[in-house]
Amino acid sequence: MRATALLRAGIACLLLAPLFFLAWVVSPSGTAAIAPGTGEGMRALMLGWGAIAPLIGLLLILAGGVLNVLAVRAGVRRLERVASGAEPMGAGSVERAGPRIRILDAQGREIGGTDDVGPVRAPINRRVVGGLLAVGLGILIAGGLVVLIAGIPAQLAPGIPLTEVYAAWGGVGSSGFIVGVVLWAVLAVLLTLAVAVVGLRRGAGLDRLVPAHRFIALALVIGSVIVVASGAPAFVVAQELGDVFALDGATTTTAGWLLGQLGIAFSVGAILVTVPRWRARRRPAVISGASD
């Protein structure tokens, strides 16, 4: 494994570790903090994940350190081989036997170069990817609205109709919460529209700046931002309804916890898409003129 690939894998592990510690922080530390309408299976899942997540974070820190040490070691060994003459400088690519001729097709791919080795895959349609990502973010917004307006209140007051829950909450408290939900929804819709616009725009410069994997990572980051922004109204409804129904701090609901973990998963996906190198670079073939 090349030193660069080892280094990227180590950096990915170190970037992932804080996310698992965050998953631990937002998970309940005991049954007393879980809302009364939570099933036993979900209680066990919350508590179990809260216990496992920090251990995974520690393992990722250790793995990142080991991979970085191996990357430095591989780099030093290669420098030693180059210095001793056992490996020529730039041995990772095919040496040029003569003047190189670069021929590009209509999509800008080099014929006879890296993109012409092995079967040629059709380029990913940006509009299709952008549309799918925008639809996914729209589903996330709809799910977030259901969680904020219905899911959390229903679990904090099991068996009580939502109309009576909001009536018991009072007009002043619930109206402020509704305003917060509306502001969050507007922000989320604007971010989703930005993803759709980037997907619809076409241009060689934009394709190089935001290729498919970066575009997917951008959408994952935006999804994580949408979930994090929903934390403010979710905290308000959980705390205030907890006081209204005298839940003694039991404010962690299944819907709110799953939404928060989903936001963390989006950040994990963005790191996995962009930081590690999942496939080795193929050696480019060289087209050179015939020599006598």
* Residue 281: inside a domain: no
Q: b/e per residue, 171-203, with b = 16+ CB within 10 A? A: eebbeebeebbeebbeebeebbeebbebbeeee
Among 111-120, 144-153, 248-257, 268-277, where is mean pLDDT lowest?
111-120
- HEC assignment per residue over 129-195: HHHHHHHHHHHHHHHHHHHHHHHHHHHHCCCCCHHHHHHHHCHHHHHHHHHHHHHHHHHHHHHHHHH
pLDDT (0 to 100) of residue 72: 87
Q: What is the DSSP letter of 114?
A: G
Q: Give pLDDT tens digits for 150-190.
A: 998 888 888 888 888 888 887 767 888 889 999 999 999 99
Amino acid type, 42: M
Full residue range of the structural domain in which residue 28 is found? 3-89
Percent of the chain with pLDDT over 70: 75
Tell me, yes or no, whether 263 and 151 share the same domain: yes
Q: b/e per residue, 8-32, with b = 16+ CB within 10 A? A: bbbbbbbbbbebbebbbebbbeeee
pLDDT (0 to 100) of residue 280: 56
pLDDT confidence band for 16 (50 / 70 / 90): very high
* Residue 235: inside a domain: yes
Task: Give the total number of structural domains in the chain.
Answer: 2
* Residue 65: inside a domain: yes
Q: Give pLDDT tens digits for 229-255.
A: 998 899 888 888 877 877 776 678 899
pLDDT confidence band for 101 (50 / 70 / 90): low
State the pTM of this model: 0.78
Tell me, yes or no, whether 43 and 178 share the same domain: no
Name the token pair of 229: 């922004």
Tell me, yes or no, whether 49 and 178 share the same domain: no
Among 24-38, 60-74, 237-251, where is mean pLDDT lowest?
237-251
Tell me, yes or no, whether 50 and 136 share the same domain: no
* Residue 257: inside a domain: yes
Q: What is the DSSP letter of 31?
A: G
* Residue 96: inside a domain: no
Tell me, yes or no, whether 260 and 174 share the same domain: yes
* Residue 112: inside a domain: no
Domain boundary among 89, 110, 136: 89
Rounded to whole angstroms, the Cα distance separating 10 from 16 reads 10
Four-CA torsion 139, 142, 148, 150, nearest 10 degrees: -120
Tell me, yes or no, whether 131 and 51 share the same domain: no
Tell me, yes or no, whether 264 and 189 share the same domain: yes
* Residue 149: inside a domain: yes
Tell me, yes or no, whether 270 and 156 share the same domain: yes
Mean pLDDT of 30-51: 87
Tell me, yes or no, whether 77 and 133 share the same domain: no
* Residue 290: inside a domain: no
Percent of the chain with pLDDT over 90: 37
Tell me, yes or no, whether 137 and 268 share the same domain: yes
Closest of 267, 283, 286, 264 to residue 275, by C-alpha:
267
Tell me, yes or no, whether 252 and 158 share the same domain: yes
Closest of 48, 60, 59 to residue 24, by C-alpha:
48
Tell me, yes or no, whether 268 and 215 share the same domain: yes
